[in-house]
Structure 1
Amino acid sequence: MAIQTEALPESIPVPARSLANVVKILFKLQPAQVDGLLEQGYVAVNGRVKRQGWFRCDAGDEISVDLVPQAIVAPIKQTKRKQSSRTIEFLYDDDDISLVNKPANLLTVPTKHREAHTLLSLVQRRYQSKDRNAQAFCVHRLDRGVSGVLVIAKSLEMAERLRDQFADRKPHRKYVAIVAGVPKAPEGRLVNYLSTDADLNRILVADETQGEIAITNYKVQSALSDAAVLEVKLETGRRNQIRVQLAELGHPILGDPRYRPRQAAHWAWQFQRIALHAECLGLKHPRTGEPLFFETAWPQEFRDFVRTQRKQS
């Protein structure tokens, strides 16, 4: 990657010192190219990434641009821009944290590909509509295809306090999952060790020397003809944990394209998402210590599927 840095000269007048204009002038770029670099996080001022074109620069500021060819040629695909119109449901909001209801098919945070439109970017955009310097900090994540409750911090201090709670396994996390088939045991505690293979899939390994411990508790809420609705509670929070462990149990989550996808396919589940929803989240407020508990309704797809299945039985 070709990172170039230029100092903002006094010769650029103050009214013309918006970051977008400065980048365009210093690096001789087109406005669309500047937009792409800003949106993808390729611009920094004095070492700090800035995505806001309106940000006011001062003389002497060091402007760094990562001139990635694909960002210069194709800033952001129009299909991705459409996601910016999504509205995020806020369940709780104060000066320190927000709890939101993440929709399915939206990344929580950018991957290595630096996607511009994620839950975090949409939340931060809302914050900055009120305070241009506001920031949003991710505390935990949900997979792209999963919906449900997430907590977002408004400062690094609050984020670290919340992360400590998750590291100590203190938050209450309950999910609803619809799986293929009906587990023989009406409830169970799944304990496995997870690692990551070369294709970034999560796999089960023998012990703690090869991976991280993952603990999931499940209970059958409703047995349908060839599927089941499970209540799932986490003790640990590893990436893809619920999906991997339920697939290993022989009951993959419906619609899962990665873990036992053939078995996870169901004629009545025609939705472009995974049948997993973070239904409840309970934790302590990172500043006050006050207990907070939030519960969300089942997504419409879940209700439609269960209704269809019950009609078939």
Structure 2
Amino acid sequence: MKDRKVTKGQGKEPRSGKPQNIEFKVKQDQELMKFLIEQLPHKNRNNIKTMLKKKQVLVNGAAVSQFNHLLKSGNVVSLSRKPGPSAPKMNGIVVVHEDKDLIIVNKNAGLLTIATDKEKRQTVYSILSDYVKAQDSKNKIYIVHRLDRETSGLMMFAKSKEMKDLLQESWKQTIAERSYLALIDGQLNPPEGTHKSYLFESKVFIVYSTQDPERGQEAITHYSTLKSNDNYSLLKVNLETGRKNQIRVHMKDLEHPIVGDKKYGSTTNPIGRLGLHAWVLAFRHPVSGKMLRFETSIPGSFLKLF
């Protein structure tokens, strides 16, 4: 039997009739979707998205579901004939990436990161702890960073204390992009810019902003407007520093608070939740050295206002 021809000479397929993977060697840096469209001209974008969803696309042996995953020259992309194992369903969170060192999840608004003295309901930490212990009772999970309860989006957890410490100590060097979506009241003028102040927390856990460097910690927020109308604007926000409630306080400073944020000055709540979402998380894996990038969908409730 003759070998089956593969696209551009990059892919190779075994001659055996048994279900096996088809492999393609990446020759230049590019996004995964663009690469797959070039290699699989007989499949459309929806076909490819289905393969990604079913965990049939592997990069260097690890299943990838993000269509805009950044490939590097030398990576090996494999196409599995069989769907990968489905991640268990967990109320309030979805696992978007997992390896021996890390777990990346997308959490719903309304879910605490970890229990507090006043709030001991189910949390992201408790859900993930049960998840890893179901695989091995000795497994543990460690918080690398937190999101406010009413903020949705991407979070990173470590599977060992050593990995947690390594990530926290090298956070600025490890993180390539951490972008948020903020839905605010009104329109900013100018529509993009940078806001800097110093933040400090009161005894009743409210964060205040000042221009006095002696009173608080430096906080720098970069923002740009993605969509706007007479009543609301959708911003892309990048943090140069990661202070508690930083985006919420800085939007209050700019007199355009985040919708639904009664604590920091908003009087509107058109979406029934806080208008803040951790949208993009990109970082260099501290062990493998690979650049990983994860991007969630824009919440539908945010878009419906435009």
Q: Shorter-normalised TM-score: what interval?
A: 0.5 to 0.7
Partner of 2:303: 303
Report 1:207-286 matches (<5 A). Answer: 207-262=212-267, 265-266=268-269, 269-271=270-272, 273-286=273-286
Matched, 1:293 2:298: no
With 197-206 and 248-257 compared, the bigger mean Cα shift is at: 197-206
Distance 2:90 2:297 in 1: 23
Is the CA contact 1:179–1:254 (under 8 Å) kept in the aligned structure 2? yes
Q: Secondary structure at the match of 1:261?
A: coil
Q: Secondary structure at the match of 1:162?
A: helix
With 197-206 and 111-120 compared, the bigger mean Cα shift is at: 111-120
Matched, 1:174 2:172: no
Task: Give deviations 1:101-152, integer Å, cap 9, x for gaps.
Answer: 0110001112233614110111111111111111110001110000011111
Report 1:10-25 matches (<5 A). Answer: none
Q: Secondary structure at the match of 1:213?
A: strand
Code of the aligned partner of 1:207: D
Is the CA contact 1:165–1:171 (under 8 Å) kept in the aligned structure 2? no
Report 1:1-313 matches (<5 A). Answer: 86-113=91-118, 115-166=120-171, 170-262=175-267, 265-266=268-269, 269-271=270-272, 273-306=273-306
Distance 1:216 1:302 in 2: 21
Is the CA contact 1:169–1:236 (under 8 Å) kept in the aligned structure 2? no
User: TM-score, structure 1 length as denominator?
Assistant: 0.66
Task: Give deviations 1:196-232, integer Å, cap 9, x for gaps.
Answer: 1122100012333211111100001112121111111
Is the CA contact 2:105–2:154 (under 8 Å) kept in the aligned structure 1? yes
Unaligned runs of 5+ in 1: 1-83, 307-313
Distance 2:176 2:197 in 1: 20
Q: Secondary structure at the match of 1:258?
A: helix
- Aligned Cα root-mean-square deviation (Å): 1.7
With 174-183 and 295-304 compared, the bigger mean Cα shift is at: 295-304
Aligned length: 218
Code of the aligned partner of 1:110: A
Shift of 1:290: 1.3
Shift of 1:85: 6.2
1 or 2, which has the higher helix percentage?
A: 1
With 165-174 and 95-104 compared, the bigger mean Cα shift is at: 165-174
Change (3 A) 1:255 1:221: same
Shift of 1:298: 1.2
User: TM-score, structure 2 length as denominator?
Assistant: 0.68
Identity %: 35
Unaligned runs of 5+ in 2: 1-88
Shift of 1:87: 4.8
